[in-house]
Amino acid sequence: MNYRKAAAEAVASALNSQQITAEQAERLMTVPPNPEMGDIAFPCFSLAKQFRKAPPQIAAELQRSILESPEAGSIFLKVEAVGGYLNFYLKRGMLVKSVISEVLSKGEDYGKTEEGKGKRILVEFSSPNIAKPFHIGHLVTTALGSSIERIYAFLGYDTVKINHIGDWGTQFGKLISAYKRWGDAAAIQKDPINELLKIYVKFHTEAELHPELEDEARLYFKKLEEGDPEVRALWQFFVDASLQEFNRIYRLLDITFDSYAGESFYSDKMPEVVELLREKNLLEESDGAQVVRFEEDRLPPCIILKSDGTTIYATRDLAAAIYRKRTYDFYKNVYVVGTPQALHFKQIFAVLEKMGYEWAKDCVHVGFGYVRFPDRVLSTRHGDVVLLEDVLQESIEKTKEVIKNSSTSKNIDDLDEVAEKIGVGAILYSFLKNGREKDIIFTWKDILDFEGESGPYVQYAYARGRSVLRKAAESGIDYTAADLSLADGAEEFELAKLIYSYESVVREAAQKYEPCCVTRFVTDLAQSFNKFYNTCSIMKSEPALRDARLMITEATCTCIKSALHLIGVRVVEKM
């Protein structure tokens, strides 16, 4: 049952639906910060101007009207007017029964909607650069983008996951120049990414002493754009070797893509973009380069062609956006790219608007902060990088040690698999637990804290619940016909209320592009379940109440697993 909707309909009915509709009232409904203030609250402040009355008076009049309705008494325990709020208190047994029954009926489909039916959302994320290692900073876009895609898919949208690989640009001129000077084919075949990084870093070191190397690199990139066979063959070698490495890490993260169309894919589509801009008289010359200017200098000019005639990543992003609209006819085109690129995307979207594309408004840049280490800074150019694979493997090894030293984890047979799920999940959780625009402070103490706000803590709550259910099965207990209305204690009620909020939490996460909404929800759910577990003796309760509590345990596990999936974290049955 939709209790928010029921409360909204009660408000609209009391007003004869003249001043506010049920849909409008439902959007205004909030959850009070303190359960003693009710379970659902309707703020009356927005009605003060219409009614020319003080909010407390409006709340009191609404209360009297609603209490006269027989329907209200069958749903709500009580309705109170406090200040300018109308507070609705739900009947515990009724809420527990309706919510838990729905979860057990729908399983992992609980909370899913069809609001996105017929709408396609493209999510571009990860997008590492070819021939450069996958460092820890890349995980932010990878984890965030994957979670956003999962959230929208959960709400019924047709999603397309795009990995816009950085496989084009002047850096390849530098890499080709470096390879021709210092490349060791055998060494690169054996360890492509690390060997390519070495010569790339060496190029920058040498270029500081010999600036003419930069000119040579620009010449090689021009040859690449012109299709020089030898240069193209080297480029393809770099691409193939890098993708092989990237896919190994994606498998570890349990992430897949629908498209790997990178920057090079659009190399033959860029001339059309340049021609369209010329036809619309949008190109201007500036110091030999071709740029698009904006009215009143609200944005810096967007460079389309450099002075040597080569393209820039703005040209490629314009070609990509136009191609995606033609190919996918998207509802939203989402770019999960660091906040420092905000100006770039403002320019891209503004150029698309000037070109007359109304769908430019459907392009969205989702920014995020940096990964901060207490004493380190990430920089690919100088080789001082924290490699993602090293971090993931270290997390897995640290998790193994924790499990081995735990007195409650002696019966785990598949230690490697469990440690991988917990170790990788711990990293993903920590990257998604706060608002995406905040910097991530990386400390092992917080990431692998099995008792605090962490991935392992939530996974342990799930494993604990599954352990209870296994014991029930081993004891031959069939709880499928339990009377849920018996479970009307405070702990059961709080669990049911949290589970009931799942759908609205996922919707909020989608609207804000903030997976942290889901992360906070599942953490709260784990904490609430642990309180329930420690307070209510599930297996020692009298049989009827025991069975009801087992149903609640199963429903909670189902919801935890579903929410963890949305942030890319896999569950473990034993810890």
Digit-coded pLDDT (tens) for 269-326:
999 999 999 999 999 999 999 999 998 778 999 999 988 887 788 999 999 999 999 9
The confidence score (pLDDT) of residue 451 equals 84
- Phi, psi (rounded to 5 degrees) for 365: -100, 125
Q: What is the CA radius of gyration of the chain?
A: 28
Neighbours of 565 (CB within 10 A): 18
- Report which of 449, 424, 513 is spatially closest to residue 139, judged by C-alpha positions: 424
User: How much is the pLDDT for 378?
Assistant: 45
Convert 436-457 to b/e letters by CB count within 10 Å (16 or more is b): beeebebeeeebbbbeebbbbb
Q: What is the DSSP string of 17-80?
A: TTS--HHHHHHH-B--SSGGG-SEEEE-GGGHHHHTS-HHHHHHHHHHHHHTSHHHHHHEEEEE
Q: In one letter, which amino acid is 262?
A: G
388-566 under CATH 1.10.730.10, yes or no = yes
Amino acid 15: pLDDT: 86
Query: Which of 3, 20, 2 has the alpha carbon at shortest distance from 11?
Result: 20
Residue 382 confidence (pLDDT)? 46
Q: Looking at the DSSP assignment, which residues form a beta bridge with residue 289?
A: 286
Amino acid, res. 436: R
With a CB cutoff of 8 Å and minimum separation 6, the contacts of 555 are 99, 100, 103, 104, 499
Contact 517, 505 (CB under 8 A): yes
SS (H, E, C) 29-44: CECCCCHHHCCEEEEC
* Active-site residue list: 132, 135, 138
d(Cα 346, Cα 470) in Å, to the nearest integer?
54
Extents of the domains making up the chain:
3-90, 120-266+317-372, 388-566
In CATH, the number for domain 120-266+317-372 is: 3.40.50.620
Q: Evaluate whether 140 touches 431 at the Cβ level (below 8 Å).
A: yes
Residue pointed to by tokens 């209490």:
67
Domain 3-90 and domain 388-566, same fold? Reply is: no
Backbone angles phi, psi at 290, to 5 degrees: -105, 125
**Second CATH level (architecture) for the domain 3-90:** 2-Layer Sandwich (3.30)
3-state class (DSSP) for residue 356: coil
What's at 391, amino acid-wise?
A: V
Q: Which of 336, 332, 392 is nearest to 369 (CA)?
A: 336
Helix (H, G, I), strand (E, B), or coil: what is residue 86?
A: strand
> What's the average model confidence in pLDDT over 365-369?
96
Query: What is the reported pLDDT for 380?
Result: 45
**Which two structure tokens, joined as six digits, stand for 292?**
């698009």
Q: Give pLDDT, residue 50.
A: 87
Q: Which two tokens stand for residue 225?
A: 């754009």
Q: What average pLDDT is seen over the chain?
A: 92
* pLDDT tens, residue by residue, 490-516: 999 999 999 999 999 999 999 999 999
For 525-550, the pLDDT digits (tens) are 999 999 999 999 999 999 999 999 99
- 309 and 319 Cβ atoms separated by less than 8 Å: no
Distance in angstroms (rounded) separating the CA atoms of residues 416 and 322: 45
Instruction: Determine the Cα–Cα distance for residues 34 and 77; give it in Å rounded to an integer.
Output: 17
